[in-house]
């Protein structure tokens, strides 16, 4: 999620406006991003497509983005969506185009649309970022893309560098070897690689989740230029939501996010993190009183790329987080939301 920034709220807004026209993008907004040490104005477009191919195989346990997809979206519809979106993006130096699936999947984004967007960026000298599942990233596809526009960044969800976590906790339908092959294709074609690292897939304890994210970031750093740390947020209609409703899942603590980010500094890569739904019950959160401070520090670090550790303020909840990290695996066979349980018992 993806590095889906404020997408949570953008997406809910888009959903309320149903029925959405097939010629309007899901969402368009501007944000800041650090590119090569410069903080640049960045445009973000979410195109409405036929959706992620993996959704028909059950989809990933934490991903609910398919709600924005529609059947029967034509190439002309997508061209109209992009025209509509690009008219709202002036004075940008970087463009991110998301589809809630894979930009490199022909069924979602036909070649004509890919070319249209690449040429639009090439004409304006803009860097372009798109996302894809690893299975669609091949040497041929990559060479065709970079042949049109060289300043290209491909984002791939590695999520976990552990095949068992990929299979049983995420249902990613991809192996680490699949990711490695795709990453190599991106680099060989001269494009930049951004890898998504998931923090706290379901069925992992808080301590296991931190350990898994760190191992994953280390693996991603072998080929990636940028690593995006994505704390899980509870999206509608997902397995994660079902577990969460039954107290069997808690999104990661912000203390865990900070521990991962601070440890990632040693990897010497661009590290970005924008916790979707941060500070809320469905997103990465702490006790409520320290959340805003920590979220600001996390966002500021993503934009500045300041390599210093995030300054931590002291908060009483840090002790509870430390206890959860230490005890969660011992007190329950699996994961429970201990904090919510304690709170409801004492109220
Ligand atoms: Zn706190």
> pLDDT tens digits, residue range 294-334?
999 999 999 999 877 777 678 999 999 999 898 887 765 55
pLDDT for res 25 = 94
Q: Alpha helices of the chain — where are they, by DSSP H?
A: 7-16, 75-86, 111-124, 139-148, 163-164, 176-188, 206-220, 239-245, 254-264, 291-304, 317-331, 338-346
Average pLDDT, the chain: 90
pLDDT for res 226 = 98
pLDDT for res 218 = 98
Q: What is the chain's Cα-based Rg?
A: 20
d(CA 203, CA 142): 35
Cα of 205 to ligand 1 centre, how many Å? 20
Bond preceding residue 19 cis, omega within 30 of 0: yes
Cα of 69 to ligand 1 centre, how many Å? 38
Cα of 134 to ligand 1 centre, how many Å? 38
Cα of 210 to ligand 1 centre, how many Å? 18
Cα of 286 to ligand 1 centre, how many Å? 5
Cα of 1 to ligand 1 centre, how many Å? 25
Tokens 């390599």 label which residue?
Answer: 307
Cα of 306 to ligand 1 centre, how many Å? 24
Confidence of residue 82 (pLDDT cuts 50, 70, 90): very high
Cα of 218 to ligand 1 centre, how many Å? 28
pLDDT for res 66 = 83
pLDDT for res 301 = 92
Contacts of 170 (CB under 8 A, 6+ apart): 60, 61, 62, 159, 160, 198, 201
Tens digits of residue pLDDT in 100-122: 899 999 999 999 999 999 999 99
pLDDT for res 347 = 44
CA-based nearest residue to 229, from 205, 261, 256: 261
In the predicted structure, residue 273 carries a pLDDT above the cut 90: yes
Structural domains present in the chain: 7-346 (3.20.20.70)
Query: Is 224 in contact with 196 (CB distance < 8 Å)?
Result: no
Cα of 293 to ligand 1 centre, how many Å? 10
pLDDT for res 10 = 43
Overall average pLDDT of the 259-281 stretch: 95
- Cα-flanking dihedrals φ and ψ of residue 227, to 5°? -120, 125
pLDDT for res 40 = 97
Cα of 151 to ligand 1 centre, how many Å? 42
Assign 39 to helix, strand or coil: strand
CA-based nearest residue to 293, from 276, 307, 282, 278: 278
pLDDT for res 309 = 74
In the predicted structure, residue 155 carries a pLDDT above the cut 50: yes
User: Residue 308 forms beta bridges with which residues?
Assistant: none
Cα of 200 to ligand 1 centre, how many Å? 19
Cα of 314 to ligand 1 centre, how many Å? 8
Query: Is 44 in contact with 30 (CB distance < 8 Å)?
Result: yes
In the predicted structure, residue 13 carries a pLDDT above the cut 50: no
User: Residue 94 forms beta bridges with which residues?
Assistant: 42, 127
Confidence of residue 71 (pLDDT cuts 50, 70, 90): confident
Cα of 180 to ligand 1 centre, how many Å? 38
In the predicted structure, residue 346 carries a pLDDT above the cut 60: no
Tokens 């940008």 label which residue?
Answer: 92
Cα of 209 to ligand 1 centre, how many Å? 20
Higher pLDDT: 345 or 155? It is: 155
Cα of 44 to ligand 1 centre, how many Å? 32
Percent of the chain predicted with pLDDT > 70: 89
Cα of 318 to ligand 1 centre, how many Å? 6
DSSP 172-209: ----HHHHHHHHHHHHHTT-EEEEEEEE--TT--HHHH
Cα of 181 to ligand 1 centre, how many Å? 41
Cα of 199 to ligand 1 centre, how many Å? 19
Tens digits of residue pLDDT in 176-193: 999 999 999 999 999 999
CB neighbours (10 Å) of residue 262? Answer: 16
Please give the DSSP secondary-structure letter assigned to residue 21: P
Cα of 321 to ligand 1 centre, how many Å? 9
Cα of 254 to ligand 1 centre, how many Å? 9
Query: Is 154 in contact with 130 (CB distance < 8 Å)?
Result: yes
Cα of 235 to ligand 1 centre, how many Å? 24
Overall average pLDDT of the 216-224 stretch: 98
Query: Is 155 in contact with 145 (CB distance < 8 Å)?
Result: no
Cα of 284 to ligand 1 centre, how many Å? 12
Higher pLDDT: 197 or 65? It is: 197
pLDDT for res 58 = 87
pLDDT for res 109 = 96
Cα 188 versus chain centre, distance: 24
Cα of 285 to ligand 1 centre, how many Å? 9
Higher pLDDT: 77 or 347? It is: 77
Please give the DSSP secondary-structure letter assigned to residue 243: H
Q: What is the pTM of this model?
A: 0.90
pLDDT for res 70 = 83
Residue 58 half-sphere exposure toward CB, CA atoms < 13 A: 11
d(CA 226, CA 273): 11
Cα of 271 to ligand 1 centre, how many Å? 24
Overall average pLDDT of the 36-42 stretch: 95
Please give the DSSP secondary-structure letter assigned to residue 335: -
pLDDT for res 11 = 45
């Amino acid at each position: 999620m993806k590095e889906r920034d404020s997408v949570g709220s953008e997406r809910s807004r888009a959903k309320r406006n149903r029925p959405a026209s097939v010629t309007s993008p899901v969402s368009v907004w501007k944000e800041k991003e650090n590119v090569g040490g410069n903080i640049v104005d960045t445009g973000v477009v979410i195109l409405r497509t036929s959706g992620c191919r993996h959704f028909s195989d059950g989809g990933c346990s934490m991903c609910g983005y398919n709600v924005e997809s529609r059947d029967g979206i034509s190439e002309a519809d997508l061209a109209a969506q992009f025209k509509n979106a690009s008219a709202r993006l002036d004075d940008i130096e970087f463009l991110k185009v998301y589809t809630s699936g894979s930009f490199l999947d022909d069924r979602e984004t036909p070649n004509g649309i890919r070319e249209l967007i690449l040429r639009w960026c090439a004409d304006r000298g803009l860097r372009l970022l798109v996302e894809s599942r690893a299975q669609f990233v091949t040497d041929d596809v990559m060479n065709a893309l970079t042949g049109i526009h060289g300043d290209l960044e491909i984002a791939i969800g590695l999520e976990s560098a552990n095949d068992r976590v990929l299979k049983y906790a995420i249902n990613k339908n991809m192996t680490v070897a699949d990711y490695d092959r795709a990453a190599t294709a991106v680099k060989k074609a001269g494009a930049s690689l951004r890898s998504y690292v998931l923090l706290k897939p379901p069925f992992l304890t808080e301590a296991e989740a931190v350990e898994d994210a760190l191992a994953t970031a280390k693996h991603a750093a072998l080929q990636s230029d940028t690593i995006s740390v994505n704390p899980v947020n509870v999206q509608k209609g997902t397995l994660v939501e079902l577990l969460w409703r039954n107290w069997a899942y808690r999104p990661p603590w912000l203390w865990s996010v900070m521990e991962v980010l601070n440890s990632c500094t040693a990897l010497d890569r661009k590290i970005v993190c924008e916790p979707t739904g941060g500070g809320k019950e469905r997103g990465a959160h702490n006790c409520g009183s320290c959340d805003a401070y920590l979220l600001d520090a996390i966002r500021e670090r993503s934009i500045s790329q300041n390599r210093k550790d995030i300054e931590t303020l002291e908060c009483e909840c840090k002790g509870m987080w430390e206890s959860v990290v230490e005890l969660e695996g011992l007190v329950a066979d699996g994961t429970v939301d201990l904090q919510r349980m304690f709170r409801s018992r004492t109220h």
